[in-house]
Amino acid sequence: MALHMCPSLTVSSTELVYLSSGSIQKEAALSLKKVRLEHLPKKRMARLPILAAHNTGNGSWSSQSPGVISDTTHHLQGRHADWQSSCAVLSSQWASQVEKESLAVDLHADASDEKLATTSFRDTLRDLVTFPKPLSIIDFSKPPSHGSELRVAYQGVPGAYSESAASKAYPNCEAVPCDQFEAAFQAVELWLADRAVLPLENSLGGSIHRNYDLLLRHRLHIVGEVQISVHHCLLGLPGVKKEHLKRVISHPQALAQCEHTLSKLGVAREAVDDTAGAAQFIAANNLRDTGAIASARAAELYGLDILADGIQDDSGNVTRFLMLAREPIIPRTDRRFKTSIVFALEEEAGALFKALSVFALRNINLTKIESRPQRKRPLRVVDDRNHGVAKYFEYLFFIDFEASMADPRAQNALGQLQEFASFLRVLGSYPMDMTPVGPSVSKS
């Protein structure tokens, strides 16, 4: 701005230059950068009328005679020096202001670059750190695809027969170990797992009553079954011989299924929660005088030697497992289905016969029948006029039959049963396990 306020003005011999604009006219007339009067010929200078740069104070200009040119020239030269100083100060201030603005622009650009770099770094960290996706209503309502990326709960530790059953029921699943049967039920109910695979009966040891009771206590549905062959091994620490063992630990049913072998060894027996847990306990505590009955996979996982293979008393040792889920599956009729129910009856003669006849009359085959005392009402008091007071157990009856709930025969049978049953609940209608049971399933 200051540079435009100090133009170079020249008065030549042939023309007079003056400013005619408002406030600039007043200042510029007294601040001519250079007046070249000395270049005028002396003869002509005497004849030349000059409009001297004199302000009358009212915004007009007055003409001066040649006699005052000398004084005007000295005045203009003094003003010229003052004007150069002012121009230098203004130029310095303008340059300083430009430098400050340039610095501010540079700082703003640096700050923008730094902010951009910080944002880019945060985005990179966000990409590197993957947080778990919270469950939504869509996740809850949409069940996972069958057999793929499922979390399947089982009782025991890695290497247990239940883990093998979970892998057979849902290949490529993520097996979730639980310390107790009830913990597996709760894992599914609380969405910590998608399915549960739990044993229900064994061909040698019989029914696992604890799981029958849990089926009533919890609201899970049976969606399938799987059967595996149980192949027991006697395990010990490396270098230990079976003759040196003083005790053997395992699940109670495993100990009962190997009774003959254990009697020949003459060892003490101690029950633990599961077979693989026994192998883990020996390895963790370096127990050289203790053996475990477990699977070959447990020996591999916990670094134990197989001291004896196939020590079960009966080679046809099969365990049936149930597959449990939060929601039932849709029953079908294009393949063989099995349905599991539980019911209670009033105390009267022939009540159980009537209940079973609803299936026999419709040619429905029963594959299992199990009775359990009711936990909340274990006893019923009945008045007997002749013999005083008699006490009877109140029972629940668990039945499996070969029919789908989509079959009209099954629907009609349960409809008739409900007419005289005091309690009836369908635990599940699911496909039957038709795969052959091999002797080496537990090793895989």
SS3 state of residue 18:
coil
pLDDT of residue 349: 87
Question: The domain at 233-316 falls in which architecture?
Answer: 3-Layer(aba) Sandwich (3.40)
Within 10 angstroms of residue 327's Cβ, the number of other Cβ atoms is 10
Question: The domain at 140-229+318-431 falls in which architecture?
Answer: 3-Layer(aba) Sandwich (3.40)
SS3 state of residue 29:
coil
pTM of the model as a whole = 0.63
Nearest residue to 395 via CA among 381, 368, 374: 374
pLDDT of residue 344: 92
One-letter-per-residue 3-state SS of 290-356 = EEEEECHHHHHHHCCEEEEECCCCCCCCEEEEEEEECCCCCCCCCCCEEEEEEEEECCCCCHHHHHH
Q: Rounded to an integer, what distance in angstroms lies between the CA atom of residue 89 and that of residue 6? A: 12
**Domain boundary assignment for the chain:** 2-102, 140-229+318-431, 233-316
Report DSSP letters for 362-399, one per residue: TTPPEEEEEEEE-SS--EEEEEETTTEEEEEE-EEEEE
Q: How buried is residue 56: exposed, middle or buried, by Cβ count under 10 Å (0-12/13-18/19+)? A: exposed
Residue 321 annotated as catalytic: yes
Q: Rounded to an integer, what distance in angstroms lies between the CA atom of residue 110 and that of residue 104? A: 10
pLDDT of residue 27: 47
Catalytic choice (321, 337, 343, 397)? 321
Q: What is the pLDDT along the chain (444 residues), one digit of tens a residue?
A: 444 444 343 434 333 333 344 444 444 444 444 444 444 444 444 444 444 444 444 444 444 444 444 555 555 555 555 656 665 655 566 556 655 555 555 555 555 555 554 454 345 334 433 433 433 334 444 444 444 478 999 999 999 999 999 999 999 899 999 989 999 999 999 999 999 999 999 888 888 889 999 999 999 999 999 999 999 999 999 999 989 899 999 998 899 889 999 999 999 999 998 899 999 999 999 999 999 999 999 999 999 999 999 998 888 889 999 999 999 999 988 889 999 999 999 888 889 999 999 999 999 999 999 998 887 664 454 455 545 455 566 889 999 999 999 999 999 999 999 999 999 999 999 999 877 665 544 333
Report how many helices (DSSP H) and strands (DSSP E) the chain contains, helices first: 13, 17
Within 10 angstroms of residue 42's Cβ, the number of other Cβ atoms is 7
pLDDT of residue 253: 87
Cα atoms found within 13 Å of the Cα of residue 54, Cβ hemisphere only: 13
Catalytic choice (275, 290, 319, 339)? 319
pLDDT of residue 45: 45
Q: Which residue has tokens 């274990």?
A: 378
Q: Rounded to an integer, what distance in angstroms lies between the CA atom of residue 444 and that of residue 163? A: 11
